[in-house]
Chains A and B, each alone.
Chain A
Amino acid sequence: MNFLSIENLYKSYGENLVLERLNLTVEQGEFVSMVGASGCGKSTFLNMLLGKEKQTKGKIVFEGKELTQEPDAERGIVFQKYSVFPHLTVLQNVMIADEFSHSPILGWTFGKSKKEIKQKAMSFIDAVGLSPAIKKYPHELSGGMQQRLAIAQALMKAPKILLLDEPFGALDPGIRADMHELILDIWQKNKLTIFMVTHDIQEGFKLGSRLWVFDKIRQDPQAPNAYGAQVTFDLSLTTENSKAAAKELLKEAS
């Protein structure tokens, strides 16, 4: 049984066919980088994995069952922005994840369970290097720090799948490199399955164990919306050799 399999998936918004005929399988622990032209449907694809958007046709099977059609704690997400809660401090932002499950009525914890949650939250905050800022509110943090906070927050629930939609798009190159180290470290330690959309193909190569290129194969100049994008390249990046081969292939194609 595959960890996640996508069977003949279509997605359209009204007349606009965005994605078509997607047939893909993913094993646990893979890191899938996704690239493609703007507007080709990468975010739409992530939203379907998240359960926020419903596919028009086809199936997404996750661990043998069809995927739940609403977001849940099995799938974590880091958006490009607006991912953290502006009214909570760094520590509260991370603690809230476990407070939800520990206190379904009040939403707040006290005493011993609060202490335990705080300890767990501190370990994740430490992992993303935000310990000096635990009392700060998100608007007092830089863009990179906010993204690190969002990652720590998402990791609290130990999601099986982590979805990243251009998580580092707004960051400058130096911070971006730090974030790459961080995410690779977290991926390996937590045995996560990651799907990451990026506009930077170098980033895709560097981080991914697999690269998907979204593109339209069929084009009708009279009706640009008649055909959707598909995954035109599905390349393994697990070894240096395969990486080199993948780069070669993409160079030829373009």
Chain B
Amino acid sequence: MKRLMNLTPSKPLSIFLSLMPFVLILFVYWNASNVRLAENPNDKLLPSFSQISSAVDRLAFNEDKRTGKYIFWVDTQASLYRIGLGILISAASGLIIGLLTGLVPIARSNLSPVVTIISLIPPMAILPILFISFGLGELAKVMLIIIGTAPVIIRDMQSRVLQLPSEQLIKAQTLGASTWLVALRVVLPQILPSLISSMRLSLGAAWLFLIAAEAIAAQEGLGYRIFLVRRYMSMDVIFPYVIWITTLAFLMDFSLKRLSQLCFPWYHDIESGK
């Protein structure tokens, strides 16, 4: 008998093992919901699957009577726009500032301390400032996401640049490269894969800030809806919304990973060889 740490599951077994917890959770939920609903048909805490699906049907596939819109999709669009814009701006500033502070000592002395300090400010604490200065529109919510995620990405990018072997930077100079060309052709392509993984890690924080901002002030959005229906204890809406948010988060993470594998095969080869 091999050691436990050396046993690898076969493909079918591994699929079975990974699906089992999900099936188990659904089964436990289904059971508990049945029990509660049998006691009290008006119970709101654990709605049945059919109650949930009719709520989804009402929000996603039927026009809202008051506004004439498909609420679920309006919410999705609003939230995706905010988080997408926020994370893209964070990534762009992280890349540019991180590359600059990592490669150019003058920029590092100039910007590194202030970035470190900003990254230590709890973003939620300055949310009121954002609402006061940027109003209750889109800008404040996007700003919260940027302030919450950009400093981390900047610091990550800076440390990636500093981790590049100095041999490479010297080599490029002996081949006649200027600072600009070293940045463009040696440093930039090598930190782009790290930028993507940094974005993936920041997505969790970005969703947190998005939902917090939407809960406090918004007219639409996934987070807004959840906190709105909380007043009526509409678990049949909250549950599918949470699952949908999780699905979106998963899809974003997955597509970033695929993008990285597609664009930077050398990086993933080296990583998996380690």
Extra inter-chain contacts (18) besides given A87-B267, A107-B181, CB under 8 Å: A50-B170, A72-B174, A72-B176, A73-B176, A79-B167, A79-B171, A82-B167, A86-B270, A87-B264, A96-B175, A97-B175, A100-B172, A104-B180, A104-B181, A107-B184, A139-B273, A153-B175, A154-B174
Contact B184 A73 (CB under 8 A): no
B270 near A139: Cβ-Cβ < 8 Å: yes
Q: Could you pull out 9 A-B pairs where Cβ atoms are within 8 angstroms?
A: A71-B174, A76-B174, A86-B270, A97-B176, A100-B172, A107-B184, A137-B266, A153-B171, A154-B175
Q: A70 is contacted by which of B173, B175, B273 (Cβ under 8 Å)? A: B173
Most buried by A among B177, B184, B270: B177
Most chain B CB neighbours (cut-off 10 Å) among A76, A85, A137: A85
B6-14, B87-95, B127-135, B185-193: which lies at the interface: B185-193
Contact flags A81-121 to B (C-beta < 8 A → 1, else 0): 11111110000000011011100111110000000000000
Q: Smallest CB-CB separation from A137: which chain B residue?
A: B266
Identify the closest chain B residue to A154 (Cβ).
B174
Q: Is B68 positioned at the interface, with any CB of A under 8 Å from its CB?
A: no
Chain A interface mostly helix, strand, loop or mixed? Answer: loop
Collect the chain B residues with CB atoms within 8 Å of residue A72's CB: 173-174, 176
Interface size on B, residues (CB 8 A): 26
Query: Contact residues of A with B, CB < 8 Å?
Result: 50, 52, 70-73, 75-77, 79, 81-87, 96-97, 99-101, 104-108, 137, 139-140, 150, 153-154, 156-157, 159
- A59 to B172 CA separation, bound complex (whole angstroms): 25
**Does B168 interact with chain A (Cβ within 8 Å)?**
yes
Q: B residues near A, CB below 8 A? A: 165, 167-168, 170-178, 180-181, 184-186, 189-190, 264-267, 269-270, 273
Where chain B touches its partner, the secondary structure class is helix
Q: What CA separation (Å) do A169 and B198 show in the bound complex?
A: 37
Could you tell me if B266 and A71 are in contact, using CB atoms closer than 8 angstroms? Answer: no
Instruction: Quote the shortest CB–CB distance from B140 to chain A (angstroms).
Output: 38
Whole-angstrom distance from the CB of B175 to the nearest CB of chain A?
Answer: 4
- Cα A124 to Cα B125 in complex, Å, equals 60
Contacts of A100 in B (CB 8 A): 172, 175-178, 181, 185
Instruction: Check A159 against B174 for contact (C-beta < 8 Å).
Output: yes
State how many angstroms separate the Cβ of B16 from the closest Cβ of chain A: 35
A71, B172: Cα distance in complex, Å: 9
Report the bound CA distance from A243 to B23 in whole Å: 80
Quick check: B174 and A82 within 8 Å, CB to CB? no
Residues on A with beta carbons closer than 8 Å to the beta carbon of B174: 50, 71-73, 75-77, 154, 157, 159
Chain A residues whose CB sits within 8 angstroms of the CB of B170 once the complex forms: 50, 52, 71, 77
Which residues on the A side are within 8 Å of B165 (C-beta)?
82
> How far apart are A110's CB and chain B's nearest CB, in angstroms?
15
Q: Is the CB of A139 within 8 A of B269?
A: yes
- In the complex, A118 Cα to B26 Cα: how many Å? 60
